[in-house]
């Protein structure tokens, strides 16, 4: 099979071997890039602190070694992976004004971004199943969702992600790129990369659409189906107080669903249908999709989960008491 770039002149072939992309986004901040990096660094540090705190509390607190919190721990890991995959190139672009990214590094970043996105989507689906069993079949919850079953679900999520995402960079390698094209975002995404190829991208576009539908699309469909069944069960409960109590156990998860899927749907629609949309809209929606869940999920679960909230308040109380003792001793 002849590689698509082999039919180009020698000059273009040499360009292909040293191919790089120019990162886009943040056009409004180009004159004050260092100031743009300050809130971005703050958001990244808060996301790291929040998710690491969730993980440490779940690890230390024996009462949280249950299916729901094991899935929450995996959600925190996915959030950490997602923000760590996107923030470095954004900070490098704003602080060091380094817009250029090599083709190989771009593919690696794209692989991890899409992998952690798919993992987070699947974990949200697993958490929806957890809420469905807890509300619709409460007496059978402990027998249906054991820790071993939850671990098998986590392994299946990782295996599905690897099998679906690996073909994306493999297919991209077969394409021909001859110029340092400017991407729409400060990181590499599959739909954004294939727009700059000089080859026939129908196979790549078709597989990208298949990967999107078979992972995030199906996950969203089953999440919605789970909540239809949950609402049906809640409406059959006798009193309003019991209905609100049952619904309250889903609030944190509903927030996670909205934070993740609404920007994702908007971003996918923009990439496929928004050819004449302003680049600023692309940047805002993409950043919202990749930055909001890692930053806000720990806050939502810390506020709504009593055990985690008490543990965090206890940590602050112990630190405050330690500082007070230090001042008295001085």
What percent of the chain is modeled with pLDDT above 90? 42
CB 134 within 8 A of CB 270: no
Asked if the model's pLDDT at residue 14 lies above 50, the reply is no
The residue ranges of every structural domain in the chain are: 24-329
For 264-304, how does the pLDDT look when each residue is reduced to its tens digit (9 = 90+)? 888 777 766 766 777 677 777 878 888 889 999 999 988 88
For 224-238, how does the pLDDT look when each residue is reduced to its tens digit (9 = 90+)? 999 999 999 998 887
Question: From residue 50, how far is each of 274, 284, 294, 303 by CA, in Å?
Answer: 34, 23, 8, 12
DSSP state of 218: H
> Which residues, 6 or more positions from 15, have their beta carbon under 8 angstroms from its beta carbon?
178, 179
**In sequence order, what DSSP letters do the residues of 251-314 get, joined into one string?**
HHHHHHHHHHHHHHHHHHHHHHH-TTS-HHHHHHHHHHHHHHHHHHHHHHHHHH-HHHHHHHHH
Asked if the model's pLDDT at residue 51 lies above 90, the reply is yes
Asked if the model's pLDDT at residue 89 lies above 80, the reply is yes
Helix (H, G, I), strand (E, B) or coil at 101: strand
E strands present in 23-174:
100-102
CA nearest 246: which of 228, 230, 223? 230
CB 10 within 8 A of CB 181: no
pLDDT band at 319 (very low <50, low <70, confident <90, very high): low
pTM of the model: 0.86
CATH code for the domain defined by 24-329: 1.20.1070.10
Residue 190 structure tokens: 């599959």
Question: Over the chain, what is the mean pLDDT?
Answer: 83
């Amino acid at each position: 099979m002849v590689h698509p770039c082999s039919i180009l002149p020698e000059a273009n072939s040499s360009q292909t071997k040293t191919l790089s992309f120019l990162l886009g986004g943040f056009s409004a901040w180009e004159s004050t890039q260092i100031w743009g990096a300050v809130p971005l660094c703050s958001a990244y540090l808060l996301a790291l602190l929040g998710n690491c705190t969730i993980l440490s509390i779940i690890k230390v607190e024996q009462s949280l070694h249950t299916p729901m919190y094991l899935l929450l721990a995996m959600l925190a890991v996915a959030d950490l992976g997602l923000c760590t995959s996107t923030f470095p190139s954004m900070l490098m672009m704003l602080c060091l004004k380094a817009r250029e990214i090599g083709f190989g590094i771009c593919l690696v970043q794209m692989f991890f971004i899409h992998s952690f996105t798919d993992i987070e989507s699947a974990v949200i689906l697993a958490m929806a199943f957890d809420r469905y069993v807890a509300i619709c079949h409460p007496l059978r919850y402990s027998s249906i969702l054991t820790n071993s079953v939850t671990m098998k679900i986590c392994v299946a999520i990782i295996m599905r992600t690897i099998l679906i995402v690996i073909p994306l960079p493999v297919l991209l390698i077969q394409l021909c790129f001859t110029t340092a094209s400017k991407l729409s975002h400060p990181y590499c995404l599959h739909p954004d990369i294939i727009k700059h190829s000089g080859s026939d991208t129908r196979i790549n576009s078709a597989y990208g659409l298949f990967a999107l539908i078979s992972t995030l699309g199906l996950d969203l469909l089953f999440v919605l189906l789970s909540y239809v069944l949950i609402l049906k069960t809640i409406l059959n409960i006798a009193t309003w107080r019991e209905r609100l109590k049952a619904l309250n156990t889903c609030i944190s998860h509903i927030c996670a669903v909205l934070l993740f899927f609404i920007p994702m749907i908007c971003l996918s629609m923009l990439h496929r249908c928004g050819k004449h949309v302003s680049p600023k809209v692309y940047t805002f929606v993409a950043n919202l999709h990749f930055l909001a869940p890692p930053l806000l999920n720990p806050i939502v679960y810390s506020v709504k989960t009593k055990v985690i909230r008490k543990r965090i308040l206890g940590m602050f109380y112990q630190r405050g008491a330690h500082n007070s003792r230090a001042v008295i001793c001085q």
